[in-house]
Amino acid sequence: MANDMATDIDELIYDPADPSTLRNPHALFARLRHEDPVHWSEPMSGWVVTNYDYATEILTDSEVFSAERLTSVRKHLPGPAQNAASEILRWLNHWMVFRDPPDHTRLRRHMATVLNLPVFESLRESVRGIVDMLLDKLPRGETIDFIPNFSIMMPGMVVMDLLGVDRTRLLEVKSWSDDMMLFIGSARGVPDKYDRARRGALAMAALFKDLIEQRRVEPKGDILSQLIHSEIDGRQLNDDEIIGSMMMVLNGGHETTANLLNNSLLALAGNPDQMAVLRSGSGNMVTAVEEFLRFDSPVLSIGRIVTQDMELGNKQLTKGERVFAMLLAANRDEDVFDDPDRLDVSRNPNPHMAFGKGNHFCLGTPLARIEGQIALEAIIERYGAISLEGNVDDIPWINSMVTRGPTRLPLRLT
């Protein structure tokens, strides 16, 4: 029996580039939670953790599990990519998501002065206006790809307005951001990803350098102007720190919300009974958005570096190894959530970790929730029928260890 179990575990392989795993990893994650919750993934060259409690430990103990994983990323790069890495890391090293205290604490205090609940609440009317403007443009009764027509545009416009960047540059800036994220987020098999990431980083840096110069001459009400003058304990951010922080906000504030919308509509398409609950008025969109975040989280995983030899889940982890807290898997842990594979828009309580945990908990969480609530409520109210065109198994998914969502979403709205 023991030998049979060992063989079964040996056959468990988490490969993020496998098309079937990209599309639907939940069955594999369920097996890993039961049989091998701290799993060594050879394709990942790191540990994959699928258990809720272990993932919580990884995300909340910054002394043992370090967020400063860029050194490890660079160490695993092929030789020709090293030069490109130097230019990209100039900016990524100032993303607070890749810093530990005290650097993380200092950067987060600056960001919290400009990204906070009162600021996000003040954006509600602007979000509603953007949602209605984009929905007015969608054709009724025709099959559209929802991603370029709505889910890229809506959060993109919101974050561009927040940063003080001209909306007309959205698609250009989005392409730079996508290319830059190839450096840290993509699985294998993306051609020229390091050169593309370098070009994206340089283009975004040039944009924000120009904007910083403009705001120093003529400040505005955007968060860039506020960050330039932000002072914590007598210290201001330097230009590289401001540029890095703007890159981080643009990427995180855009990608996560887009995936939340896409994954939510896919979940509703596959669960018409829950759509009926929301249409009847018996469901609450605030509660429903929390369930969408849990059911198919827009962030797949968060990576950390082990800082000392230690044991986790009866496995020996060695200093310097990479470990990935799989948020998608933790959010379906049977020991935490009743019937976790069932979408329940009325689920309460719902202690999901879609936005992480601990001192790196996402600052933009309130804005993503507000955008999700407003957009999904407007879509459900406006359209009597929302149907997925084609087979769900044919939908391609983002090839990334960071984000989780489809790359194409054919919907018919009537």
- Encode pLDDT of 108-134 as tens digits: 999 999 999 999 999 999 999 999 999
For 347-369, b/e burial (b = at least 16 CB within 10 A) is beebebbbbbbbebebbbbbbbb
Q: Identify the DSSP state of 247.
A: H
Residue 25 lies in a domain: no
Residue 32 lies in a domain: no
Beta-bridge partners for 235? 232
Mean pLDDT score of the chain: 91
Phi, then psi, of 355 in degrees rounded to 5: -110, 20
Encoding tokens for residue 9? Answer: 């575990």
At residue 2, the pLDDT reads 33
Residue 33 lies in a domain: no
In this model, does residue 1 exceed pLDDT 60?
A: no
**Which are the contacts of 407, defined by CB distance < 8 A and separation ≥ 6?**
147, 396, 397, 398
Amino acid identity of residue 412, one-letter, is R
Coil, helix or strand for 122? Answer: coil
Query: How many separate domains does the chain show?
Result: 1
Instruction: Give 271-315 pLDDT, tens digit per residue.
Output: 999 999 999 987 799 999 999 999 999 999 999 999 999 999 999
Residue 270 lies in a domain: yes
Q: Residue 107: give the domain boundaries.
A: 38-413
- For residue 254, name the pLDDT band (cuts at 50, 70, 90): confident
**Which are the contacts of 404, defined by CB distance < 8 A and separation ≥ 6?**
259, 263, 296, 297, 298, 299, 300, 328, 397, 398
d(CA 46, CA 305) in angstroms, rounded, equals 9
**Which are the contacts of 338, defined by CB distance < 8 A and separation ≥ 6?**
none
Instruction: Give 358-378 pLDDT, tens digit per residue.
Output: 999 999 999 999 999 999 999
Residue 1 lies in a domain: no
Residue 69 lies in a domain: yes
- CATH code of the domain in which 163 resides: 1.10.630.10
Residue 17 lies in a domain: no
At residue 176, the pLDDT reads 92
Q: For Cα atoms 195, 196, 200, give the angle at the middle one, nearest 5 degrees.
A: 120
What integer is the mean pLDDT of 389-402?
A: 90
Residue 127 lies in a domain: yes
